[in-house]
Each structure stands twice: as C-alpha cells, then as structure tokens.
Structure 1
Amino acid sequence: MSLFKAASTVSLLTLVSRITGLVRELLMASTFGASAMTDAFNVAFRIPNLFRRLFAEGAFSQAFVPVLAASRAKNGETDTKLLIDRVATLLTWALLLTCVIGVAAAPVLVWLMASGLKQDPRGFEAAVFMTRWMFPYIGFMSLVALSAGILNTWKRFAVPAATPVLLNLSMIAAAWLGAPWFKAQGIEPIYAMGAGVMLGGLLQLSVQIPALLRIGLLPRIGLSLTAIRLAWADSGTRNIARLMVPALLGVSVAQVSLLINTQIASHMAPGSVSWLTYADRLMEFPTAMLGVAIGVVLMPQLAAAKAADDAEKYSAMLDWGLRIVVLLAVPSAVALLTFAQPLVATLYHYGAFTDRDVQQTTTALMGYGAGLVGLVAIKVLAPGFYASQDIRTPVKIAVVVLVMTQLLNLALVPFFQHAGLALAIGIGALINALWLLLGLRKRGSYRPAPGWGVFALQVLAASALLAVFLLWSAQAVSWTGLRAESFKRIGLLALVLLASSAIYFGALWAAGLKVRTLMRR
C-alpha cells in the first residue's frame, strides 16, 4: 500500500469519526448547552483522557511503535510476537494499578484539574462522581493504543482509524436516548454521558481482537509474577521503558498546559470550559484528518527506513508529509479564521445553545485556527525524531514552548478571556513546529526537495483568494438568524464549502500546481 493510499484510508475513516464526533457535540450542545454541569462532564472526561495520553497514543505509542518496527525489520516476526506479549503484560498490570488509584483519588484529581468548580458544589460533586465512573476508560483505550501500534506497523490501518467512531456512536446514543431516560428516572441527565463513554471504550477494545487474530498477533497477557519478571527482563521492553521516560515528560508537558488552561477557564464565566471544548472539537477535525492521518502512516515507515539506514527515503517521506500539510492545513486555517461563526452556528446553534454561546465558541475557534498549521505540522515533524528513537529533543522543545505558552496566557487572557487561552496554544504550536523543523534540518535528517518556493507561493495565492470568498460568505448570510431554518442553513454551508474547495483547487490548477502528482509522489 502506497503512502498516499494508506493516508487516504486513514483520513477517510478519520473523516467519518469526526463527522460522528460533530454529531455527538451537536447533540450535547442542544441537549445540555454550556453550563456548570457540562463543565463538570468535560472536566471529568478530560481526566481519564489526560492519563490516556500517557499510557496510550502519547508516550507509550511514541516509544512502542519505533521499537516494534525496528524489531520486525531486524529480528523477524517470532521474536517480535514475544516482545508484544511482554509489553502487553507490563502495560495491563500498570493500567490496573493506575485505575484503582485514579478511582480512589478522584476528588483530588478534579480539584487539581478545575478547582473553580468548587464555586458550585453541585458541579464539583458531579465531576467527582463521573470521574470515578469514567476513569477505567483509560484501561480500554491504552490497550486499544497497543493494538493500533501493532496493526499500523503491519500496515493494517483501517481498524485503528475506524475505532473512534464507536465512542462517538455510544455518546450519541447516550445524549439522544440515555439522557431523557435518566431524567425520567430522576437522575441527573449528564450522567448518561459517562455511561456512553464507558460503553464506547469497551466497544473500541472489542473490535481490536478479531483484527489481531487475523494476523496472529493477539497478545498473551501473563498473569503470574514470573511472567511479569520475564517481561521486565526483556531487552525490548526495557528499551521501550527507557524511551518512555522522556516521552512521558513530553506528554506531561502538553497535559500540564491543558491542566493549567482548564484551571484558568474554570475560574472564568460559567460555560468557559465548554466553549473551549466545543471549539477544540471543531479544530480537531482538520488536525486529525491531516496531521494524525499522515503521522500514523509515516511513523512505522520512517522507523523502517531508519532501521534500513535509508536516509534518502527517510527525507523524501518527511518532505511529502510536509507538502501535504501545507497544501491542506493552510486553507483550513484560513477557513477557521474567516468563517468560524457560520461553522459554529450551523453545527451547534440548536436547543440550549444560545447566541452568546455561538459568539464565545467562535472566538475560541479563531484562536485555535491561528495555530492550526503548527498543530498539524507537529504530527508530521515529531515522528521524524521518534522514528530515530530520539524522544528527548522534542521533549526539550515542548518544555520551553510550555513556558512560552503560559507567558502568552499572561498577556492574552486579560484581553481575550477564554479565547486568549486558545490563541496562546495556537501560537505555541507554531513555535514548536518551526523548532522541530529546524532541528531536523540541522541534523541532516530532512533535506527539502526542490520546488518549495514556487509551491508555497501557489498555496498562498490560492488561500488569499479563498479568504476573500469566505469573508464575503460570512457577511452575506445571517447565520445565527437562520436558527429556525436549520436545513436551509446546513444547505448554505454545504454550498459554501463546495464552492470554497472549487475556488482553492481551481486557483492551484490555474497556478500550475498538479495536485494529483503531488499526492502520489
């Protein structure tokens, strides 16, 4: 499977995931709005997600996938299967211990994440209750990440990419069917979302089992102390653990930033955490479709190229990934900056979601949009280091950027409130991406192919034309005024997006850029 086909598969399935995710957020916004109780759920959901990023797609995946790919290339599949079994054994026992501690420490975790919820004792208690119920979610998702690392290394990209859809469908069912039922039983309706999260985690783990059985790599988890000792003595698991130490620091830096931002937002106007969450969901749409899709495909391929000492292929894959980022992330950023309000209004402006919620979510989305190119580029640039089993360099950069982001918060939050938090993250991402790029260039891992200057001018010219059209479209229609005519508003949005695509790619074609050739290069 070519890089383009693999990335297209992941991107298409990620699109399905993000569409169902938007439906989920739309239902949540219309059912619950933005209130102290939605803030409580969002805080409670962020806590297991924070730990998930330590054990799952964050530090663990960054350490596991390069070692797994190198083991397959050098040692063969029999030894690699043994490595998988031993890694799964250690991970499972670590997760069990973490879940027990997390459930017991829920009040402390909620206070550390969002002490501002104490202003409303009911909201704080709800957050603690939901944290306890949802904390085991990290166990499901961390084992899903283990499975995804195996399947992606064996170029089975479809199942890992489609898996998140199951969480979205579970949460949609919770908001649509569960919340009214809970209310009829005299139970706080928002608790239905916690049940939806747990069901989604269980379903996501379940679908990995047949996929792993088909390639004969379903892990065998050791239950005895002897199995644990043997697993820890394995040189491969020790190498993963060694790589995880700096990776944990790097992921922790990102999570500390999230924790600080959530803490700050919890002391602002009620609904601030939710406004940022709704904006973040929209921002993740292009981030996941572009950055995550390309990064997932590139990581094992880069690791294999490094193991084979093929520097030319290594650099060429990075160059291809960066060109795709520029080609698609720049117009996406333009759209978020010039057309944010119509997007928010069309997707969220129903039921309990008010005009004020639209405006506040819009400003947060524009803040994220300012740094979208950086957020996407990091997903391509960081694997350039991870594939070489160099996790320390990205971590050092992340630590410095964290400090810079918090300094930006001091300058921006007094003027822009919650939107200042989003803008600081966006600017920090741009700095992070540029630093990673310069690092790869300096060490000679990445050598830009000819033609970047002309390519950049073509993209910028087409994006400028797109910006003019989107600014006009945002002003030509009263997007919030069409609340009662939802189908008309959705239809208009679809027409604008189709016209935007035609204008952008048409301008690129007129400028002489052969997009299909670039995609398949």
Structure 2
Amino acid sequence: MNLVKATGTIGGLTLVSRVAGFAREMLMSRVMGASWQADAFFVAFRLPNTFRRLFGEGAFSAGFVPLYAQRLQGENGEAEAKNFSEEVLAVFAPTLVLFTVVFEIIMGPFVFLISGYEGEKLSLATLLTSITFPYLILISLVSLFSGILNSLARFTAAAFAPALLNLAMLSALIFVPVGGTVSATALAIAVTVGGVLQLGLLIAACKRAGIVLKLRRPKMTPGVRQFVRVVIPATLGAGVYQISAFIDTFFLARIGTGSLSYFNYADRLNQLPLGVIGAALGTAILPQVSKHVGANEPGKAAKVQGQAAELAMLLCLPAALALAVSAGPLASALFQGGRFTAEDARLTALTLSIIVLGLPAYVLVKVLTPGFYARQDTATPVKIACIVLVATVVLNFALIPPFGIAGLAAAIAICSWLNCVMLYVVLHRRGHFRIEGWLASRIARQLLAGVLMAAALYAIKLAIPNWFSGSTGHRMVGVLALVGGGMAVYFPAVWMLGGTDKEELRALFRRRRPYTDAG
C-alpha cells in the first residue's frame, strides 16, 4: 500500500468534512452566539462524542483492525475475517444498546454531575443530551464497518462519512435559524440523523466490497474472547483520556457562560490539521505496521512509522505555527458576526493560540500508538494515559483558577507533549522505533522553515492591519492573504533547506508514489 496515496485519500476526504464543519461552525456562531443555550448544546454534543471515542474509534480500532488484518492473511482469508466481524458485531451491538438505555435513564443526574447546571439550563442540556445520545450506537457501529473497509484498503467511504454529520447539522441551522432553544433542539436532532446517514453509507460501502454482515445471537467465541482481551485495555486507556475530556467539560462549564463555545470554536480550528493529518496517518499506517509485525519484519514496521512521522511534521509544524500566529484574524473572520461578538472572537483566538502549541505532539501520538496496537499491546498506552491524566488534573487545578480558559488550553498542550514523549521513550527502549539521524535532520529543517513562515505571517499582519477588521468580506480576504503568504514562504523554504526528499514533496502535490510499501 502507498502511504502518501492512502493518507492523501483519507486526508483529502477528511478535509471535505472539515470544510463542511467550518461552514457549520461559522453559521452556528452567528445563529447561537456564545449563549447559555449554545453551551447546553455543546455539553449534549460532547458527551456522546466522548463515549464514541471511548467505545468506537480508538479502542475498537486498536482491537479490531489488527485481528481482522491477521485473519485476512490467514488460510481462509476474507471468509474467516467476515466470520470474525459477525461474531464481534453480535456482542458489540447489544452492549452499546444496553449502555445507551442505562444512560438515558440516569441522564438528568449525569448531566448535572458533569456540568453543574441548574434550573432551565440543566433541563435543556438534559433534553438535548437525551436526543443526541443514540448517536453513540450509530457511530460506534460506523467504526466497525470503517475498520473492515480500512483493512481492505478501501478508505473513501469511511473518510467521507463525517461530512454527512456536518451536512445534517448545517441543514438544521439553515432551516431553523432563530437561535436559542429552538435551534439548539434542531441541532441535537440533526446529530442523530447524521449518525443514521453515516451508518447507511458505511453499510452500503461494505456491501459494494462484498461484505454483508449477518446478525447473530451473541456468543463468546474464541475470536470474541481474543478481541475482548485486546480491547479492554484499550478501552481503559481510552477511558483515561475521556475522563480527561469530562474534566475539561467540568471546568469549562464552571468558568463562565460562553467558555464551552470559545473552546469548541478554537478546537474546531485545532482539529483541522489533527483530523486531516494525524487521524489520516494513524488510520493509514496501522494496517501496514500490523502486517509487518505479523510477518516478523520489525525494521519495515519502524520504517513505515518513520515515514509517517516525517510526513506528519512536514504538514503539522507549519499548521501549528500558522494557527498560533494568525489566531486573531482567523477567529474574527470565521466566527465573529450575528450573536458572536468581537470579545467572543478575542477569547476564542486566545484559546486557539495556546492549544495549538500541543498540536505537533498530538499528531505524533497518532503515529506512535500504532506501534503498540500492531503488537496487540494496548496496556502500555493505558499506563502512560493514567500518568498523563494525573498531570492533566493537577495542571487544570493549578492553571484554571488564575488564567481561566487560557489555563485549560495550556494544560492540554503541555499534556499532549508529555504523552508523546512517554510513548516514544517506551518504543525506543524496546527497540521498536527510534528517530534516525535523517529524520531528526529533516524535522529540524522543517521547523526552521516554519519559523520563517511565522515571521512572514507576522509581517503580513503588520502590513495590512485594516484587512483584519471591518466587514466579514474584508476579514476573509485578510485571512486568504495570510494563508497564501504562509504557503508561499513555507514550501519553497522547506524545499531549499532540505526539509524533505524533493521527490516526496512533489508526490504530496502530484500524488506520485515514492512512499511505497517496504514489502
């Protein structure tokens, strides 16, 4: 499999989803503002998504994809893999339904515990969360079908599926633009509708690939037991991360009205390179690393990770620096307007400029963790995640009281680097992966090119300050000038400094095939 091609396919379609997501957020900020109804919706949206990351994407992929890939390479190939998928589905689906029913029953006390809301705000947040929570079932099943398609090197449908959620929510805002409780309720309904659309797309894509799963009675087969043994530590590890997310929500809800909105919009910009680069690379390399580990080819597995790290930093370093330097103009151009004031945009920009400092580390985590998952070692990331969780709690208590939302953003950035460093140190000590001299040299050159780009962006901001205020059109033109200027400096600089192989940089734009499978 070609790493650049796979990453380009996943990243390109993820970018389509992110663009739709930005359109959604731009309209949402203007319709909902930084109101208490907006905060209530963001609580309702974060809770099922937090559990989705717990049960669906991270833990499920960590356990399912390597085991599915192993069966594909076995004597019976696709038949054995399909049988394994049906066995897992038979246990996984009823578990999700039971979990969702339990939380629907205790929703009121649970939302109160997380948010601390009272009265009308608690009632609305509880209602909205009850509406959005079935999304957990739908999107977790999407993860199963995505894992099948990714193992078959069919990335298109899984990468495009999130766009359907964004389009559903965008439609709710377009047709119900009145704001307040009415628009918040329409958005909550759109979340569940989006999940139905995503699941339908993935089932259809699997059918086109010749994979039609039948529903069976739940049974603890040897394959399911093996899956459970792998996925439970991964779920515990993901649970540690999601406890951290609950802690963030807990503090955000108490910082003051609007804090959840500021964080949401800042994180939307932060998630753009993370989703397009980090998630795409992590998805693309896990089947490759699993294959080489299964074939007892550790050198080739490490080479895949090294190539992925280089590509990640080539794209992520300039993205992080650009977002930090341009946070103010970006937040103003994208979100300010309607019910979202200039002060709201300023606080969103402050949050963004701090949180993106941890972006390179977060992307590298997506490259490093497949080195554990491919070896069916989900326990080590759990232990590291526990340490990171403790650090997150300590930093939240230390930084949020004096600095508010800026302190929370700083805690997230610091802990992202702590997680990255600890994962790398363990892989290095075990001899599974190390930063070779060529990789360190290229990353250093990429960083230098990024610093030159950041200086150019700052100069552009000083040269045309009037373009970052006034009408939305003026602000958008100013942002386009920043984006164009940054790219015009970074990519020629990284080319001349030797920050990447020139053939590989050409492939990034022309979609050639220099990153071939080491096999």
Which of the five TM-score ranges fits, normalised by the shorter chain?
Answer: over 0.9
* Separation (CA, whole Å) in 2 of partners of 1:421 and 1:383: 28
> Aligned equivalents of 2:362 and 2:468: distance in 1?
33
- Which of 265, 274, 278 aligns to 2:252? It is 265
CA contact (8 A) 1:345 1:479 kept: no
CA distance 1:480–1:278, change in 2 (3 Å): farther
Q: What residue is the counterpart of 2:176 in the other structure? A: 178
Q: Secondary structure at the match of 1:270?
A: coil
Asked if 1:18 corresponds to 2:8, the answer is no
Q: Distance between the aligned counterparts of 2:467 and 2:214, measured in 1?
A: 54
Q: Which moved more, 1:137-146 or 1:490-499?
A: 490-499
Most deviating of 292-301 and 239-248: 239-248
Q: Name the counterpart of 1:507.
A: 493
> Aligned-pair distance for 1:108?
2.0
1:197 Cα offset (Å): 0.6
- The answer to whether the 8 Å contact 1:349/1:483 transfers is no
Name the residue aligned to 1:63: 63
Give the TM-score normalised by structure 2. 0.94
Whole-Å separation in 2 of the counterparts to 1:336 and 1:347: 13
Could you tell me which residue of structure 1 aligns to residue 144 of structure 2? 146
Determine if the alignment matches structure 1 residue 205 to structure 2 residue 199: yes
Map of 2:183 onto structure 1? 189
d(CA) in 2 for partners of 1:277, 1:326: 25
Q: Structure 1: which 5+ runs fail to align? A: none
Q: How many angstroms apart in 1 are the aligned matches of 2:203 and 2:501?
A: 38
Return the alpha-carbon distance in structure 2 between the equivalents of residues 477 and 193 of structure 1: 38
Distance of aligned partners of 1:141 and 1:453 in 2 relative to their CA distance in 1, 3 Å threshold: closer
1:100 equivalent to 2:101? Answer yes
Q: Give the corresponding residue for 1:395.
A: 382
Counterpart contact for 1:179–1:190, Cα < 8 Å:
no
Q: Does residue 444 in structure 1 map to residue 449 in structure 2?
A: no
Cα deviation for residue 328 of structure 1 reads 1.5
> CA RMSD, aligned part only?
1.6
Q: Judging changes above 3 Å, is the alpha-carbon distance between structure 1 residues 436 and 379 closer, same or farther for their aligned structure 2 residues?
A: same
User: What pairs with 1:479-498 in structure 2 (closer than 5 Å)?
Assistant: 482-484=469-471, 486-498=472-484
Identify the range of structure 1 (94-103 vs 316-325) with the bigger mean alpha-carbon deviation.
94-103
Paired residue type of 1:399: C
2:427, 2:463 → 1: CA distance? 45
| Equivalent-residue separation in structure 1 for 2:458 and 2:350 (angstroms) | 15
Partner Cα distance (2:478, 2:270) in 1? 21
Contact 2:454/2:486 (CA < 8 Å) preserved in 1? no
Q: Is the 8 A contact 1:44 1:128 kept in 2?
A: yes
Of 247, 255, 270, which aligns to 1:283? 270
Q: Paired residue for 1:320?
A: 307
| Counterpart amino acid of residue 492 in structure 1 | G
TM-score, normalised relative to structure 1 = 0.94
Q: Which moved more, 1:502-511 or 1:187-196?
A: 187-196
Residue pair 1:170, 1:200 contacting (<8 A) in 2 also: yes
Once the two structures are TM-superposed, the CA of residue 406 in structure 1 deviates from its matched residue by: 1.6
d(CA) in 2 for partners of 1:90, 1:380: 30
Q: Is the 8 A contact 2:25 2:335 kept in 1?
A: yes
Partner of 1:388: helix, strand, or coil?
Answer: coil
Question: Is contact 2:316-2:363 (8 Å) kept?
Answer: yes
Residue identity opposite 1:204 in structure 2: Q
What is the alpha-carbon distance in structure 2 between the residues aligned to residue 408 and residue 259 of structure 1?
A: 15
Q: How many Å apart are 1:249 and its aligned residue?
A: 1.2
The match for 1:219 is 213
- State how far apart, in whole Å, the 1-side matches of 2:421 and 2:445 are: 21
Do the aligned partners of residues 453 and 264 (structure 1) sit closer, same or farther apart at CA in structure 2, a change above 3 Å counting? closer
Q: Is the 8 A contact 1:355 1:480 kept in 2?
A: no
CA positional deviation for 1:173: 0.5
Amino acid at match of 2:346: Q
1:159 aligned residue (153, 157, 160):
157
